[in-house]
Amino acid sequence: PAQNKHDIAAIAKLFDMRADFVHAHPYGSGHINDTYCAYYDQAGQRIRYIHQRLSTEAFKKPIELMENVQRVTEHALNELLKSGDKEARRRTLTCIPSVEGTPHAIDADGNCWRTYPFIERARTYDTIESEAQAMEAARAFGEFQKLTATLPGKPLHETIPGFHNTKQRFQHLEDAIAADTHGRAAEVQKEIEWFMARKDEASIVVDLLESGELPLRVTHNDTKLNNVMLDDVTGEGVCVIDLDTTMPGSAIYDFGDMVRTATSPVAEDEEDTSKITMRMFMFEALVKGYLSSAKEFLTDKEVSLLAFSGKLLTMECGSRFLTDYLKGDVYFKVHKDRHNLIRTRSQMALAESIEAQMPEMEALVAKYR
């Protein structure tokens, strides 16, 4: 087993655990934070908690981030308890406070930590194995949006400004083309033209949010399958986790990113673009699952954009890969030659597959609405 990079016994002392620390080990397959599973003894019973060190590289304002997480999880728990849900404490993350009463704690080295009860009898999956999983994940993300739709008070902090501002993302692409700092623009003319031909579409959701025709909601913004815990026995999507990017956004972004990450049969950096396709049965599972929990609060305008959302988020992601390629691979980690260009082309292929299947996708949304 992997060694602990941090002294978790010392971290345990920073939180109001009301139990005795026994041992801990690195846990899960997250790419951003350092996650530990810790065992505690509480009056003779073994219980588990998750301690996480927040990535300081990814998150510049960890305290604001934790304020968001605290508000969202506390509200979700209250709503679940109000509804009489007996499993309420399994259906949302909850923050264990620090000894100072804050949702985070700072260790001797200045690292920011948080602690959650371990969600037992459920697990996450790194790759989607079935339609049922896609449906459950989509339903769970819809439930999450439903719970947060009633969050009172001021808007959440925008922890990553402009995260899904596709208009601005395209502007950054144009800036990178103009600067052409690595002399790579000539080689990718076809790709550049592809994105520029879709520039108007890229601003649709941003414009509708600005004009108020689409509502700003509390959204998750990282709606991958491995951010939902599925029940070990029933397969039910019990709890949405990884709330680092939860902030104001559009429901379209959350659903679109599910379509982008769940409907293709191959990895995001597949080189053989003939293998990349938007699989309709997976889209149907997502629509069915998502609308089962979200249709009661979504507006007609939002529902009308669900089929398009997958294309939008795929274009957005592709434009980010191309921008990074032009800038010399400064943001996304690359593991092979032209890795960001390969990723760009795979997103283009997926977006084209979606474009070709739009009428059928629209029909499925109409079927389940």
Please give the structure tokens belonging to residue 343.
């990723």
With CB under 5 A as the contact rule, the residue among 242, 254, 257, 269 that binds Mg ion is 242
Which of residues 219 and 353 has its CB atom nearest to Mg ion in the complex?
219
Q: Helical H runs in 189-250?
A: 189-196, 199-202, 204-211
Residue from 8, 38, 119, 128 touching ligand ATP (CB under 6 A): that is 119
Interaction between residue 111 and ligand ATP (CB under 6 A) = no
CA Rg value for the chain: 21
Q: How is residue 25 written in tokens?
A: 């080990």
Q: How far is the CB of 339 from ligand ATP (least distance, A)?
A: 18
- Report the amino acid identity of residue 238: V
Two structure tokens written together for 152: 């009172």
The two structure tokens encoding residue 182: 């690595």
Query: How far apart are CB 244 and Mg ion at their closest, in Å?
Result: 5
Convert residues 208-237 into a mask of x (bound to Mg ion by CB under 5 A) and - (unbound): -------------------x----------
Q: Are 212 and 122 in contact (CB under 8 A)?
A: no
- Under the criterion CB under 6 A, does residue 171 sit at the interface with ligand ATP? no
241 binds ligand ATP (CB under 6 A): yes
- The residue among 277, 31, 237, 222 whose CA lies nearest residue 123 is 237
Q: Does 324 bind ligand ATP (CB under 6 A)?
A: no
Helix (H) or strand (E) holding 66: helix 62-82
Q: How far is the CB of 229 from ligand ATP (least distance, A)?
A: 6
Instruction: Rank residues 143 and 244 by Cβ distance to Mg ion and give the closer one.
Output: 244
Q: In which order are the strands placed within the sheet that holds 34-42?
A: 20-26, 34-42, 45-53, 112-117, 105-106
Residue 50 engages ligand ATP in binding (rule: CB under 6 A): yes
Site string for Mg ion, 23-42 (x = CB under 5 A): -------x-x----------
Burial of 190 (0-12, 13-18, 19+ CB in 10 A): exposed
Q: What SS3 string covers 149-165?
A: CCCCCCCCCCCCCCCCC
Q: Which does 116 bind (CB under 5 to 8 A by kind): ligand ATP, Mg ion, none?
A: ligand ATP
Q: Which residues bind Mg ion (CB under 5 A)?
A: 30, 32, 227, 242, 244
Q: Which residues bind ligand ATP (CB under 6 A)?
A: 27-28, 30-33, 35, 50, 93, 116, 118-119, 124, 226-227, 241-242, 244
